[in-house]
Amino acid sequence: MLYIKNGLCIDPKTGMKKICDILTEGERIRKIGEKLEETEEFRRLPRHEIQTIDAEGYIVAPGLVDVHVHFRDPGFTKKEDILTGAAAAAAGGFTSVVMMANTKPVPDHADTLRYMLEKGKDTRIHVYACGAVTENLEGLTLADLAELKAAGAVGFTDDGKPLMDEELVREAMKRCRELGVPISFHEEDPAYIEESGVNAGKIAEEMGLTGADRRAEISLIERDIRQAKETGACVNIQHISTKEGVELVRKAKADGVDIHAEATPHHFTLTESAVLQYGTLAKMNPPLRTEEDREAILEGLRDGTIDLIATDHAPHTKEEKEKPFAEAPSGIIGLETALALGITELVKKEKLSMEELLAKMSLNPAKLYGIDAGYLAEGGPADMVIFDADCSQTFWHFYSKASNTPFAGKTCKSEIEYTICAGKIAYIKNMSISALED
């Protein structure tokens, strides 16, 4: 049993925000209330079985949920693997993650998906996975979505590769609707991209590049909103980056389309000028865009157009990122910096309340993917993050195998003290994962 006392408990599902105690039993929350240790029920408990955490001065919230991570396993484990990815997630306050399908082999058949999920069970958090929409992510033939759902897929995506066949997209949406799971899209039409990873505009021109035009995203969001309206599918627009894309989602929601959108911490924090400062560490797909686009993302987060904050955690080796810009892979890590960036850039700057931020980082993504997570309740999952929202920390060390991020060396508000998953401590500040296992 864990007894967490004196913390400011925030539950985005019920709106609870008060100083209270939480007692866990097994993998669930047994009791939430004030001064539980003074109750007769608590006094009857075997004290030697209770581990106490004094959370005075800290926030106790539902464990964070990231529905967009790349753990590179199988196939690219030099960059990351499921074990190290999960350790990075726990260090960032995440108790549930959903892995993307761009592995080798691709989880377009049940065997690969089962391998990923079974290895996830060896970690200290909940690890879920999306199945591939198409065989080998080639965008030509649909995978057996029903088989993958039966094997444990919580959704489907070819993330990293856009789906260009409109009839295939429509059929995939229909099948996902029948299976009752979301389908998520990487919206970048290659017809509008000369070089990936940098926005087409003045910064690209300074670099002697053409870059990725915003129409690459806008055109596919338009198509997929139309298809979602026709099919009734639950559609998630991944890592939205343009003001036009945000407005399209806003209007579609108003029309009753079952559409959702993710924003990444890097897209609501940085603009295209970061590429000049950080080089390939700011190269990502879709690229960082203009200040006007960043402001539109902030407004989309504020008014609920953008439901989710997801990291798009994308590890690469130091050697890969040291290649010339046009040759280096796109993507940055994000699990360990996400909450701090959300608090620093959104809560402290009064773009979102703490409750709104936590909803977008726990409750909303959990609901979208049908995961039992993202709330604090008696009988609910004993998945929690305990953090100091007011202290400062500078990011230097990462539990991930990779360190490809422009936020290395950045000082932010907030620091994770504990991550608790299924009633067990998955992370303690300044303690190694191996020490926890001992």
Which are the catalytic amino acids?
Answer: 312
- Amino acid letter, residue 247: E
DSSP codes joined into one string, 361-424? IIIHHHHHTT-S-S---TTSB--EEEEEEEEEEE----SSS----TTTT-EEEEEEEEEEETTE
DSSP code of residue 327: T
Q: How many residues does the chain have?
A: 438
End-to-end CA distance of the chain: 18
User: How far is the CA of 389 from the CAs of 11, 64, 232, 351, 423, in angstroms?
Assistant: 16, 15, 40, 16, 23
**Residue 344 exposure: Cα atoms within 13 Å on the Cβ side:** 21
Task: Determine phi and psi for 418, rounding to 5 degrees.
Answer: -145, 145
The contacts of residue 311 (CB under 8 Å, 6+ apart) are 66, 68, 69, 264, 265, 333, 334, 335, 338
Q: What is the DSSP string of 273-295?
A: THHHHHGGGG--SSPP--HHHHH
What is the DSSP code string of 146-179? HHHHHHT---EE-TTS----HHHHHHHHHHHHHH
